[in-house]
Structure 1
Amino acid sequence: MLGLADVFPQDAYPFPRDDISARWLGEIADPAIQCFVVDVDGVVQGFAAIRGDEFLHFGVTVEQWGSGLARRAHDEVLARMRHAGVRTAWLRVFAGNGRGRRFYENLGWTLTGERSLTSFPPYPELLHYARTL
C-alpha cells in the first residue's frame, strides 16, 4: 500500500492486509454497502464503496496516479450518491495521507473538525471531511 506507507511504517507496523481483506469481504456482502470496480479496458484499476452518505473506500492503482482516472471515478461515485438523495457526503482520511488529503481538498471536501483513530496499530488518526453534493 504505497499510498499509506507514511501511515503504516512497514518496518514496525505493516499494513494489516489480512484484517482489511476480511473486513472488506464482509462489507462486500453487506447489502447496505454499494461497492464499485473502476474498470479500464477490462482491467481493474480501482475501487470504491459507499454506505448511505459515507464515501467509505476509494482508490486507484499507482499506475493510474496523475492520469485523471481517480477524479473521474470520484465524480461518478458522487453522482450516484446524489442520485440516491444524498445531499452532504462525508469521508475519513488518514491524517498522514498527504496525497489523499490534497486529492479530496482539491475536489471540494472540507475538514469537519471531527477526528477518530483507526482500529489497527499504530492507531493513526483519521480526519473527517464533508462535501455538499
Structure 2
Amino acid sequence: MHVRPATDADLDELVDVQGEASVVALAHVFPQATHPFPRAAILGRWRAELHDPGVAVYVSTDQDERITGFAARRGDELLHFGTAVGTWGSGLAGVLHDALVATYPHELDRIWLRVFDENHRARRFWEKQGWRPNGRTSRSPFAPHPVLAEYELHLSAHS
C-alpha cells in the first residue's frame, strides 16, 4: 500500500470507491430506493475540499495505482475515511488509519471524527483503533439526516 496526497485526477475513482462502500455499509441508513448515494454532491464536496488549503486529502493505492482507500482531515478533525469493499478485512484500514494519524500536527493532543450512529461496523473499527465516543451527536446534511456520533482519539495515548 502506498499513501499519497490526492489529486484532481483521483476524484472520480475516489468517489467510485466511496460510493460502493457506502451502498454496502450504509444501505440500512440510506435506503437506496429512496436515498441513493448522492454521487454529484459528494464529488463536488471532494473537489472543494481538495482545493481548500485547510484540508488535507489522501488516497491509498495498490501496486497498480488503483485507489484502495481515502482519508481527509481538517485541523483536529478527521473528515472522511474509507477503504474499497474488496479490501475489507485485509488490515488495510488499520494501516491507512495509522498513516493518517501520523500526519496530524504533533502539538495536537486530541482529534475527533463523526460516524453514523447506525454504522456498527465502522464504530467497531474506530473503537478498535482507540477512539471513544464523547457523547456529542449531530445530523448528516444528507437526507434522511441520520444521527452522527462524535468520537475522539487522544494522541498521547495512541502513540
TM range (shorter): over 0.9
Q: What secondary structure sits across from 1:93 in the alignment? A: strand
Deviations 1:47-77, CA, capped at 9 Å, x for gaps? 0000011011000100000000000000111
Identify the residue that residue 63 of structure 1 maps to in structure 2: 86
How far did residue 12 of structure 1 move? 1.6
| Distance (whole Å) between structure 2 residues aligned to residue 43 and residue 50 of structure 1 | 21
Deviations 1:5-43, CA, capped at 9 Å, x for gaps? 221111121122211111111011100000001112122
Instruction: List gaps (5 residues or longer) in structure 2.
Output: 1-21
RMSD: 1.0
Identify the residue that residue 128 of structure 1 maps to in structure 2: 150
Number of residues paired by the alignment? Answer: 132
**Aligned residues of 1:52 and 1:86 also touching (Cα < 8 A):** no
Q: What secondary structure sits across from 2:40 in the alignment? A: helix
Range with bigger deviation, 92-101 or 8-17: 8-17
Identify the residue that residue 48 of structure 1 maps to in structure 2: 71
Question: % of aligned pairs identical?
Answer: 46
Task: Output the TM-score relative to the length of structure 2.
Answer: 0.80
Stretches (4+) displaced over 4 A: none
Identify the residue that residue 99 of structure 1 maps to in structure 2: 121
| Distance (whole Å) between structure 2 residues aligned to residue 37 and residue 48 of structure 1 | 6
1:6 aligns with 2:28: yes
Task: Output the TM-score relative to the length of structure 1.
Answer: 0.95
**Aligned residues of 1:53 and 1:86 also touching (Cα < 8 A):** yes
1:32 aligns with 2:54: yes
| Distance (whole Å) between structure 1 residues aligned to residue 118 and residue 32 of structure 2 | 14
How far did residue 82 of structure 1 move? 4.7
2:111 to 89, 96, 101: 89
| Distance (whole Å) between structure 1 residues aligned to residue 122 and residue 40 of structure 2 | 22
Identify the residue that residue 119 of structure 1 maps to in structure 2: 141
How far did residue 86 of structure 1 move? 2.0
1:76 to 75, 90, 99: 99
| Distance (whole Å) between structure 1 residues aligned to residue 60 and residue 25 of structure 2 | 17
Q: What secondary structure sits across from 1:113 in the alignment? A: strand
Identify the residue that residue 21 of structure 1 maps to in structure 2: 43
